[in-house]
Chain A
Amino acid sequence: MDEKRFGHRVDVLAFLAVIVVVALISRLGYLQVVEGKFYGNLADGNRIRLIPVMAPRGTFYDRNGVTLVSNRPGFTVSLVPISGPIQEQVINKLSGIIGVSADEIKQKVSGQTGSFEPIRVKADIGQDVVTRIEEHRAELPGVVIEIQPIRNYVYNELAAHVFGYVSEINDVELAENKAAGYRAGDIIGKFGLEKVYDREIRGVDGGGQVEVDVTGRPVQELGKKEPQPGNNLVLTLDYRIQKAAEEAIAEQLKYLQGTIKRTNAKAAAAVVMNPNNGEILAMVSCPAFNPNFFSSGISTKNWKALNDNPFHPMDNKAISGMYPPGSTFKIVTGTAALELGKVTPEEKILDTGKHWLIPKGNDAGEALGWIDFKVAMAKSDNVYFYEMGNRLGIDNLEKYARLFGLGDYTGINLPGEADGLVANQRYKEKVYGEDWYLSETFDAAIGQGFQLATPLQIASVMSQIANGGHRYRPYLVSKIVTQSGEPVKLFGPEEVGNIKISDRTLTLIREALREVATERGTAGQIFKDFPIPIAGKTGTAENPHGDDHAWFACYAPYNNPRVVVVVVVEQGGYGAEASVPIARKILEAAFNINQAPIENAQMYIPKTAL
Chain B
Amino acid sequence: MLSRRLLKNLDFTMIGVTLLLILISLVIIGSATHVNSPSEERYWFVERQGLFAVANIVFVFLMLHFDYKSLGKYANILYVLNLVILLAVMFVGQSALGAQRWIQIGPISLQPSEFSKLIMIISLAHMLDKRTGKLNTFKEIIPVFIYVGVPFLLVLKQPDLGTSLVFLAILLGMVFVAGVSLKHFGALLAVGAAFMPIFWHFLKDYQKKRLTVFLDPNIDPLGSGYHIIQSKIAIGSGMLFGKGLFGGTQSQLNFLPENHTDFIFAVIGEELGFIGASIILILYFVLLYRGVKIAGAARDNFGVLLAAGISSMLMFHVLVNVGMTAGIMPVTGIPLPLMSYGVSSLTTNLVSIGILLNIYMRRQKIMF
Contacts and interface: CB of A to CB of B under 8 A. Distances in A.
Interface stretch (A31-39, A341-349, A571-579, A593-601): A31-39
A28 B326 contact: yes
A12 interface: yes
B249 interface: yes
A17 interface: yes
A99 interface: no
Contacts of B277: 28, 32
Given A179-B206, A223-B229, A117 B274 contact: no
Contacts of A304: none
Contacts of B304: 3, 6, 10
Contacts of A21: 281-282, 284-285, 288, 318
A220 interface: no
Interface residues of A, number: 55
Interface of A: prevailing SS = helix
A461 to B, nearest CB: 43
A529 interface: no
A180 B296 CA distance: 48
A43 interface: yes
Contact of B240 (A27, A33, A38, A43): A33
Given A21-B281, A21-B284, A181-B223, A10 B237 contact: no
Interface string B305-316: 000100110010
B295 interface: yes
Interface string A32-52: 110111111011111010101
A25 interface: yes
B237 A225 contact: no
Contact of B237 (A5, A36, A180): A36
B250 A17 contact: no
A33 B274 contact: yes
B229 A222 contact: yes
Given A20-B318, A114-B257, A209-B221, A42 B233 contact: yes
B335 interface: no
Contacts of B221: 207-209, 222-225
A402 B221 CA distance: 55
A43 B234 contact: yes
Interface residues of B, number: 68
A32 B218 contact: no
Given A13-B311, A13-B312, A28 B269 contact: yes
B296 A225 contact: no
Given A181-B206, A225-B218, A36 B240 contact: yes
Interface stretch (B16-24, B149-157, B176-184, B187-195): B176-184
Given A20-B319, A31-B236, A222-B229, A2 B326 contact: no
A10 B291 CA distance: 10
B232 interface: yes
B252 to A, nearest CB: 10
B323 A27 contact: yes
A27 B326 contact: yes
Contacts of A208: 218, 221-222
A179 B300 CA distance: 48
A526 B226 CA distance: 67
Contact of B222 (A40, A43, A180, A207): A207
Contact of A9 (B177, B219, B220, B274): B177
Contacts of A17: 285, 288-289, 292, 311, 315
A5 B281 contact: no
Contacts of A180: 205
Contacts of B289: 14, 17-18
A13 B236 contact: no
Contacts of A12: 176
Given A13-B295, A27-B328, A5 B179 contact: yes
A582 B8 CA distance: 101
A13 B278 contact: no
A178 interface: yes
A263 to B, nearest CB: 55
A225 B219 contact: yes
Given A5-B179, A52-B222, A44 B274 contact: no
Given A13-B311, A24-B318, 4 more contacts: A14-B292, A42-B237, A43-B234, A224-B218
9 contacts: A14-B289, A24-B319, A32-B240, A35-B236, A37-B239, A39-B235, A39-B237, A48-B230, A225-B222
Closest 3 CB pairs of A and B: A39-B236, A223-B218, A223-B221
